[in-house]
Structure 1
């Protein structure tokens, strides 16, 4: 907090003989100019006291006179100026948040100006995109997410190619924690399904909803896309799915002849989201799921992953699960029964479970 006093309001008192409740810290010394005495006072230092009631927090301090800074008592009549800053305990915070990403307009040599639109759909019919006013969208873990990327161009003989799609917990393609859905034109996530489209400038696909393990409660989907001349050989679009070894055998875009360069546009980045994870009606009936979905189940015993049965440990095969992701969670319905949990893609079995935030 900051205080300013006019020197004229303190006749007969010199600024060098004024102090706060605790002046032992040099940062708590008062300062002055020709007209005012002032100080910037931390809320947790300089002898500041805190009082509260049902509505406010109050931070109090005082300016007093002194003869010797080391004195702790006095019997002289002192000047004392009490002051405080008051903060309400409750307040309203408003923030403008635009969730839905509009279509993007780009220009490529040989293709002119065209647009990319990334939308989510309610089902595999792809008739009407989900209303942007309903964003952020909420999905149940394991339910299918239907997506479409569409390019709009005045040139008919063109084809859209989706080279990669990734998921991140933030709208930042360079964020360190990412999950690959499509890479090099190949499906990486095992639940991805490509749907047939009405024309070559549409790409429709779906996958099962998931969440990032940890405190992240949302997912953004980002894709790298480009346009090519339909039927033109040796463009990235004509390659389709390639692994790194096969891809290295194809000439890079800047090595193509001039005609081939015009047959392939530049790569562009499109994203949409966020998607948030909700609970199904069945899950909401389970007492165990009254806990935060971000909890990961860990066995009560600190043992290596495996099944405990009759005092003997039996190795168990790891559950199929993508690293860093959590698609389904099956908590115990009764706390005192034996319980299975999913920890980093491995199943463990023990007694009463312990819950740990990750």
Structure 2
């Protein structure tokens, strides 16, 4: 248990019917523990956390209770940093992954823990997001890794202890997403990437960097990967207006069998696509089992420490100052010259009396 002050342990749940359900959240130094009593009609097999595809993120049950131990840095835990407070959020639901509709009683059990930054959680929590391991039928087990790199060589990722990563405005940021798979002849596809001030996939405002496999940000540059299971790209750093100087990057990724036609990976950039076409493609991929589901992976935060003026404006400001100084000197010289000329003209004036 955390010995320092815990600012809040919050939990709320929504059900189709009202039941007297007992529940509790315990905030630890590196995890949140949540449990609640079983209620009539609960489908235990459908219970999941924010990241249901990660095999390490399990919702467990016994004869009386449903419970989960949720790490602060994984299982889809969303993080917000506001002033001196760190807030960690997750939820337990009973909707199947990728389900579009449901005809059963819906459970949404949302919980969060808030910590002061100066508490022990600051030492046990790392802003660096861990790898995500996924298991799918006929595609085996595969792990996604999302890292920032110091330059375009992509040799050594930045140390996780340095997070949040500091950068200046318009500094080029290099990123690599890689998947390791137990199945040979697979390839990685990054369908979309977006930025947000917090590590929350539904947070607004957000900024689209890549969408439907197409580059949207004008500064995005795609770099050559070492193999088919890598995706390398870079862009210029930025911040959100009227928000904290932190930016999280999140991407929707998937893997496909290499060389299989009509997969999302083989289609690449799609300028426009209707929801109906997307749903038809979804059913096709399930029947053919040539590609995985879409998975969510994020990394960050990036912390903007410079200012827009620090990149090139000092020279402009200096030049403007020189112009004003030079202008002032010229004006002063002009005034002095005018006084000298005026005095010279006065010295040549002769006075004559009027005739009476």
The residue correspondences of 1:166-185 to structure 2 (distance < 5 A) are 166-185=194-213
Structure 1 residue 153 displacement after superposition: 0.6
2:291 pairs with 246, 258, 264, which one?
A: 264
The residue correspondences of 1:18-57 to structure 2 (distance < 5 A) are none
Structure 1 residue 258 displacement after superposition: 5.9
2:310 pairs with 269, 273, 283, which one?
A: 283
Which residue is 1:142 aligned to?
Answer: 170
1:141 counterpart SS class: coil
1:252 counterpart SS class: helix
- Give me the whole-angstrom Cα distance separating, in 1, the residues matched to 2:309 and 2:264: 45
> Which string of whole-angstrom CA distances, capped at 9 and with x for unpartnered residues, describes residues 320-353 of structure 1?
xxxxxxxxxx889879x99xxxxxxxxxxxxxxx
Which residue is 2:301 aligned to?
Answer: 274
2:202 counterpart SS class: coil
- Give me the whole-angstrom Cα distance separating, in 2, the residues matched to 1:119 and 1:276: 15
Q: Would you say the 8 A contact 2:263–2:285 is kept in 1? A: no
2:297 counterpart SS class: strand
Which stretches in structure 1 are left out of the alignment for 5+ residues? 1-90, 288-329, 339-358
Count of residue correspondences: 205
Q: Would you say the 8 A contact 1:286–1:333 is kept in 2? A: no
Structure 1 residue 281 displacement after superposition: 12
Structure 1 residue 156 displacement after superposition: 1.8
2:252 pairs with 197, 215, 224, which one?
A: 224
Q: Would you say the 8 A contact 2:245–2:305 is kept in 1? A: no
1:163 pairs with 191, 204, 219, which one?
A: 191
Structure 1 residue 201 displacement after superposition: 0.6
1:109 pairs with 137, 149, 162, which one?
A: 137
Which residue is 1:189 aligned to?
Answer: 217
Change (3 A) 1:191 1:156: same
- Give me the whole-angstrom Cα distance separating, in 2, the residues matched to 1:180 and 1:280: 23
Q: Would you say the 8 A contact 2:147–2:157 is kept in 1? A: yes
Which residue is 2:232 aligned to?
Answer: 204
Q: Name the TM-score, length of structure 2 as normaliser.
A: 0.52
Structure 1 residue 283 displacement after superposition: 2.1
Q: Would you say the 8 A contact 2:225–2:231 is kept in 1? A: yes
2:147 counterpart SS class: strand
Q: Would you say the 8 A contact 1:164–1:183 is kept in 2? A: yes
- Give me the whole-angstrom Cα distance separating, in 2, the residues matched to 1:205 and 1:258: 29
Structure 1 residue 259 displacement after superposition: 5.2
Q: Would you say the 8 A contact 2:141–2:181 is kept in 1? A: yes
Which residue is 2:156 aligned to?
Answer: 128
- Give me the whole-angstrom Cα distance separating, in 1, the residues matched to 2:259 and 2:275: 19
Q: Would you say the 8 A contact 1:196–1:204 is kept in 2? A: yes
- Give me the whole-angstrom Cα distance separating, in 2, the residues matched to 1:240 and 1:156: 21
Deviates more, 1:237-246 or 1:268-277: 237-246
Change (3 A) 1:215 1:280: closer
Structure 1 residue 176 displacement after superposition: 1.5
> Which string of whole-angstrom CA distances, capped at 9 and with x for unpartnered residues, describes residues 150-176 of structure 1?
000121200000000000000101002
- Give me the whole-angstrom Cα distance separating, in 1, the residues matched to 2:182 and 2:298: 23
- Give me the whole-angstrom Cα distance separating, in 2, the residues matched to 1:152 and 1:183: 24
Cα RMSD after superposing both structures: 3.2
1:148 counterpart SS class: strand
> Which string of whole-angstrom CA distances, capped at 9 and with x for unpartnered residues, describes residues 106-132 of structure 1?
111211111000000000100111111
Change (3 A) 1:98 1:258: closer
> Which string of whole-angstrom CA distances, capped at 9 and with x for unpartnered residues, describes residues 15-39 of structure 1?
xxxxxxxxxxxxxxxxxxxxxxxxx
- Give me the whole-angstrom Cα distance separating, in 2, the residues matched to 1:138 and 1:286: 21
Change (3 A) 1:195 1:173: same
Which residue is 1:351 aligned to?
Answer: none
Change (3 A) 1:247 1:192: farther
Which structure would you say has the larger Rg?
1
